[in-house]
């Protein structure tokens, strides 16, 4: 994508949490192709680390004010407060990407930043003062506005995360099996409830003739599945990206029936690998699938069983349509184009 020379000279302060998250790294690489990018990575776990992060941000904003033109932040949180405040009173542009946790408030599973009133205030003010909000789905945008009590559509542009269309490519030589994969990176009880593991186990109990593989359960949660002793349910624990790709290559269906999900990138990866996707109609993953035939209206074992049987019977033409859809709507090129349009026109 060609840009005016002046745009290449812009400098971005890229603020992100201390975590290994592929879609955050992808944005950093995209922006580095067009701008000078300086990364500020923050450890925000716990009160002490949050205070350290705020001091680090203030130091960068005050003493290196002239070293950046744009502030690009992954997630609204405590650490987005001062950059957004700076943007409000100066010519510095501040963009905040809204993911999922920063938009959520799900008290029944104790999930979401807005369960904490102080944190919710910092997020609300960050979104109110920044130049532009970039939610990863319509679902994330709607949840954010509901939980901050403001409609900021005038400064919000939904930009879907990219799915790695180069890495996840269908190998037609691998035969699909009557198998359902369910990616659930679970390391605590909240994760177990959010990914709705009890629900997928109940479905598997109702479909003893179909193999289910739960991927990503860690420690005691992996053991919890293994201890069930169900012949048709397997837990693979944490897998490498390559091994996960191989699992997707052999599975006919990828499912994700979370209680809360703003995007669900694993479903998009499965679709690229020829899996028929299933998810909840009211959550963000539905925006990847865009076909009500493969979306559940309720958390009903009977409905889920019917949908899985329907997906298992789908022919190759259906999977090809899903592959084309992901490549068209969730590619790196599309994400790059949207990022550039939004950053340049401000």
Is 326 strand, coil or helix? helix
11 and 154 assigned to the same domain: yes
Q: Is residue 323 in some structural domain?
A: yes
323 and 200 assigned to the same domain: yes
Give the closest residue to 332 by CA, choosing from 11, 18, 22: 22
Q: What is the mean pLDDT of the chain?
A: 93
Per-residue pLDDT at 88 exceeds 90: yes
pLDDT tens sequence across 171-195? 888 889 999 999 988 999 999 999 9
Per-residue pLDDT at 7 exceeds 50: no
Give the closest residue to 72 by CA, choosing from 60, 64, 84: 84
pLDDT band at residue 270, thresholds of 50, 70 and 90? Answer: very high
Q: HSE on the CB side for 241, CA within 13 Å?
A: 9
Q: CB–CB of 189/263 below 8 Å?
A: no
Say which residue, 47 or 112, is predicted with more confidence.
112
64 and 130 assigned to the same domain: yes
Q: CB–CB of 244/238 below 8 Å?
A: no
Query: Which CA distances in Å does 250 have to 9, 174, 189, 288?
Result: 46, 6, 29, 21
pLDDT tens sequence across 300-315? 999 999 999 999 999 9
What is the domain-level CATH number for residue 286? 3.40.50.2000
pLDDT band at residue 344, thresholds of 50, 70 and 90? Answer: low
Per-residue pLDDT at 345 exceeds 90: no
**pLDDT for residue 184:** 87
pLDDT tens sequence across 122-145? 999 999 999 999 999 999 999 999
Give the closest residue to 34 by CA, choosing from 12, 15, 14: 12
Give the closest residue to 184 by CA, choosing from 235, 139, 115, 148: 235
338 and 280 assigned to the same domain: no
**pLDDT for residue 171:** 84
Per-residue pLDDT at 287 exceeds 90: yes
Biggest CA pair distance of the chain? 64
193 and 302 assigned to the same domain: yes
Hey, what are 191's tokens? Answer: 């994760």
Count: domains in the chain: 2
Residue corresponding to tokens 């923050």: 42
Q: Is residue 268 in some structural domain?
A: yes
Q: Is residue 170 in some structural domain?
A: no
**pLDDT for residue 191:** 95
Per-residue pLDDT at 258 exceeds 80: yes
190 and 145 assigned to the same domain: no
Give pTM, 2 decimals: 0.92
136 and 195 assigned to the same domain: no
pLDDT tens sequence across 191-244? 999 999 999 999 999 999 999 999 999 999 999 999 999 999 999 887 888 999
182 and 286 assigned to the same domain: yes
154 and 23 assigned to the same domain: yes
101 and 203 assigned to the same domain: no
Q: Is residue 172 in some structural domain?
A: no
Share of the chain above pLDDT 90, in %: 87
Q: Is residue 320 in some structural domain?
A: yes
254 and 336 assigned to the same domain: no
Burial bucket for residue 312 (CB in 10 Å: 0-12, 13-18, 19+): middle
**pLDDT for residue 304:** 98
pLDDT tens sequence across 29-66? 999 999 999 999 999 888 899 999 999 999 999 999 99
205 and 254 assigned to the same domain: yes
Q: Is residue 238 in some structural domain?
A: yes
Give the closest residue to 13 by CA, choosing from 32, 44, 38: 38
Q: Is residue 167 in some structural domain?
A: no
Hey, what are 12's tokens? Answer: 């971005």
**pLDDT for residue 298:** 98
For residue 254, give its domain range.
177-329
Q: Is residue 101 in some structural domain?
A: yes
């Amino acid at each position: 994508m060609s840009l005016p020379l002046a745009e290449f000279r812009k400098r971005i302060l890229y603020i992100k949490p201390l975590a290994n998250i592929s879609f955050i790294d992808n944005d950093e690489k995209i922006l580095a192709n067009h701008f000078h990018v300086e990364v500020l990575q923050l450890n925000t776990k716990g009160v002490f680390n949050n205070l350290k992060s705020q001091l680090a941000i203030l130091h960068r904003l005050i003493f290196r004010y002239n070293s950046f033109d744009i502030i690009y932040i992954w997630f609204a949180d405590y650490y987005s407060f001062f950059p957004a405040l700076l943007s409000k009173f100066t010519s510095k542009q501040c963009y905040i990407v809204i993911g999922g946790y920063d938009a959520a408030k799900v008290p029944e599973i104790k999930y979401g930043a807005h369960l904490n009133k102080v944190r919710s205030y910092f997020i609300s003010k960050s979104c109110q003062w920044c130049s532009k909000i970039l939610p990863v789905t319509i679902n994330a945008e709607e949840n954010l506005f509901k939980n901050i009590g403001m409609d900021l559509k005038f400064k919000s542009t939904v930009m879907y995360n990219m799915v790695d269309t180069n890495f996840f490519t269908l190998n037609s030589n691998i035969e699909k099996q009557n198998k359902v994969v369910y990616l659930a990176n679970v390391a605590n009880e909240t994760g177990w409830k959010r990914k709705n593991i009890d629900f997928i186990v109940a479905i598997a109990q109702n479909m003893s003739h179909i193999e289910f593989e739960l991927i990503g359960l860690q420690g005691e949660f992996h053991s919890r599945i293994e201890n069930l002793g169900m012949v048709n349910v397997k837990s693979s624990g944490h897998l490498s990206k390559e091994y996960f790709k191989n699992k997707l290559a052999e599975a006919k269906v990828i499912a994700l029936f979370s209680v809360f999900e703003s995007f669900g990138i694993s479903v998009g990866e499965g679709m690229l690998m020829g899996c028929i996707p299933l998810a909840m109609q009211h959550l963000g993953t539905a925006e990847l699938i865009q076909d009500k035939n493969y979306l559940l209206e309720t958390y009903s074992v009977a409905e889920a069983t019917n949908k899985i049987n329907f997906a298992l019977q789908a022919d190759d033409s259906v999977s090809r349509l899903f592959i084309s859809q992901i490549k068209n709507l969730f590619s790196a090129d599309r994400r790059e184009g949207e990022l550039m349009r939004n950053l340049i026109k401000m």
